[in-house]
Amino acid sequence: MNILDIGVDVIEIERIKKAISKNAKFIDKIFTEREIEYFESKGFKAESIAGNFAAKEAVSKSIGKGIRGYDFKDIEILRNELGKPIVKTYNNLERICIDYNVLEIKISISHCKEYAVANAIAIIKE
C-alpha cells in the first residue's frame, strides 16, 4: 500500500456554533443522516460537529481535490464500535476514489476548548 496524500484541517469551534445559529439548514446541508444521529447521541455538542466538519475538509485534502466535483455529504464520518472515526464515501467521491485506486481513508479527530482538528491519509493500491 502507498499513500496518495494526506490532509489536515483545523477549525474554531465558535465558528461552527455561529454557522449553526445563523443557518438552521447548515447541519442538514453538510452532514448525512447518520452523522446527524451521531451528533444527537452527543447532545449536538459543537465540538463534535466541528470535529466532523474538520474531518470532511481533511479527507478532501487527502484526495488532493478539495471539495470539487462532489458534495460534503459524499463524505461521511462515522464511528466504529470503539468510537474510532471511520470514513465512508458516496456518489461522485466514491467514483473519484475508485479512479484514484483509493483503498481506504484513515482519519483522526481531536478537539480542545477552542479548536477541532482532523488528519486524513488516503491509502492507495500499489
- In the annotated binding site for Mg(2+), the residues are 9, 57
> Under 8 Å CB-to-CB from 124, ≥6 apart: which residues?
1, 2, 3, 4, 100, 101, 102, 103
Q: Point out which residues pair with 124 in neighbouring strands.
A: 2, 102
Under DSSP, the state recorded for 109 is E
Which single residue is written with the C-alpha cell 466514491?
94
Q: Which residues are annotated as a binding site?
A: 9, 57
